Amino acid sequence: MPGKELIGKEELKEIMDVMETGVLMRYEFDTERKGVYKVRDFEDAFRAYCGVEHALGVTSGSAALVVALNALGIGPEDEVIVPAFTFVATFEAVCEVGAVPVMADIDDTLNLNPDVIESLITPSTRAVIPVHMCGAMARIDEIVAVARRHNLIVLEDTAQSCGGTYKGRHLGTFGNMGTFSFDYVKTITAAEGGMVITNDKTLADRAEWYHDHGHHHDPALSRGQEKHEFIGFNFRMNELQGAVGLAQFRKLDYIVGEQRRNKAKMKEMLSRLDGVGFRAIPDPDGDTATFIGFHFSDGVTAHTVQKALGENGVDAVIYKDNAWHYLPNWEHFLEYKTMNPRKYPFLNPSNKGVVDYNRERIPVAEDLLGRTLFIQIPVIVSDERWGEIERAVTAAKTVLTA
Ligand SMILES: *Cc1c(COP(=O)(O)O)cnc(C)c1O
């Protein structure tokens, strides 16, 4: 998997710049840090790359969602529409700010289906969070259009599609705000880390203040003298994360390029399997190619292929079986197991909406995620490994025709 395969002397060099000054915090200590601002440099580079006005480094992709939701003013008594196929963090973040996450179905992109949004809107609906899963985009233009019609905020969870584009424009820039993750297994890593991006100055300020206890970061005032307009929290990215993130960011285009090459080769091999089909990708040129998604006519066949590939050293995931990326499998969630005994936000008496996480409400996800396999695309694949993959695919082909 991507960035972590390439950790090397470039990351070390950036870390050493920080260690030589000893200033590990992003704010203050301007004399001691001798011009070294890694988090700020990472933000500047990321902002320019995405073509947006504002970027804010934070401690994780989960924190990025919480910071963005707070900046957007979403909280108790609000509902937020979220696709059932996502990492659990997207739902957790909505709960974390006291709002109720409303489960939505997916389409053949395996991302949020724009056509179901309208049916889920209640007077409490404030926002929708499309999630660009497994490296590729949702029908983001259609989602934004529906949201605009109903005055809903769009927050793009781009944790799994860093570097992806749709019609030439970066994912994460279509909605009011976009968030990214740099955890250890994402396309680029900062060990842990995240980014919040937006073109809206007011939202950018609110995010910045919130993520650092309400500090205004007024260069004319010392940190101890700064005003605090809002109650915030601490989600600051530190300089060591910034250093690793910056070095990794410089490898992003290379990573995506290699993944695309490897994915094309993988697709060619998998195309030999009888009855195989591939995940719909609205703009293949903008795919980060972190995964390849392919499906068969039914779940039994998909599991047969999964077994044959697995026995030959190639792991493929069927997300309907997965405990972390598919809501109907989150037993703790279905039972409203919140840390607070009153089970807020789910049983908040002021919540007017209907909270229903029954899998019958998401027929497309139930069908497609049960017969789609995902294989992760590495950046580096040796000739020997290609040979193994080739043999695994041949084994699957044999099982299918038997
Ligand atoms: C990884 C991920 C997150 C959370 O990011 P962390 O940095 O691990 O907190 C959020 N949403 C999605 C879709 C993710 O895959």
CATH number for the domain formed by residue range(s) 253-323+369-401: 3.90.1150.10
Residue 344 CA to ligand 1 centre (angstroms): 23
Kindly report, residue by residue over 140-184, the tens digit of the pLDDT. Answer: 999 999 999 999 999 999 999 999 999 999 999 999 999 999 999
Residue of 186, 196, 244, 322 with the most ligand 1 atoms within 8 Å of its CB, for mutation: 186
Q: How far is the CA of 86 from the centre of ligand 1 (A)?
A: 9
Distance 88 CA to ligand 1 centre (A): 8
**Annotated active-site residue in 34, 38, 186, 337:** 186
**Do 253-323+369-401 and 3-251 fall under one CATH topology?**
no
Pocket of ligand 1 contains residue 112 by CB under 6 Å: no
Residue ranges of domains in the chain: 3-251, 253-323+369-401
At 373, is the pLDDT very low, low, confident or very high (cuts 50, 70, 90)?
very high
Please identify, by atom number, the ligand 1 atom nearest to the C-alpha of residue 194: 7
* CA of 63, closest atom in ligand 1: 9
Mean pLDDT of 259-281: 98
Q: Is 240 in the pocket of ligand 1 (CB under 6 A)?
A: no
Task: Tell how far the Cα of 12 is from the centroid of ligand 1, in angstroms.
Answer: 25
Q: What is the pLDDT of residues 64-112, one digit of tens each?
A: 999 999 999 999 999 999 999 999 999 999 999 999 999 999 999 999 9
Confirm or reject: Cβ of 189 under 6 Å from ligand 1: no
pLDDT in tens, 8-17: 999 999 999 9
Q: Percentage of the chain with pLDDT > 70?
A: 99
Q: Give the CATH fold of the 3-251 domain.
A: Aspartate Aminotransferase; domain 2 (3.40.640)
Residue 229: its pLDDT value, please?
A: 85
Q: What number does the ligand 1 atom closest to the CA of 133 have?
A: 13
Closest Cα to atom 3 of ligand 1: 61
Q: Tens of pLDDT along 336-356? A: 999 988 888 888 777 665 578
Q: Is any atom of ligand 1 closer than 6 Å to the C-beta of 90? A: yes
Ligand 1 in reach of 241 Cβ (< 6 A): no
SS (H, E, C) the chain: CCHHHHCCHHHHHHHHHHHHHCCCCCCCCCCCCCCCCHHHHHHHHHHHHHCCCEEEEECCHHHHHHHHHHHCCCCCCCEEEEECECCCHHHHHHHHCCCEEEEECECCCCCECHHHHHHHCCCCEEEECCECHHHCCCCHHHHHHHHHHCCCEEEEECCCCCCCEECCEECCCCCCEEEEECCCCCCCCCCCCEEEEECCHHHHHHHHHHCECCECCCCCCCHHHCCECCCCCECECCHHHHHHHHHHHCCHHHHHHHHHHHHHHHHHHHCCCCCCEECCCCCHHHCCCCEEEEECCCHHHHHHHHHHHHHCCCCCECHHHCCCCEHHHCHHHHCCCCCCCCCCCCCCCCCCCCCCCCHHHCHHHHHHCCCEEEEECCCCCCHHHHHHHHHHHHHHHHHHHC
Ligand 1 centroid distance, CA of 377 (Å): 18
pLDDT in tens, 123-143: 999 999 999 999 999 999 999
Residue 186 appears among annotated catalytic residues:
yes
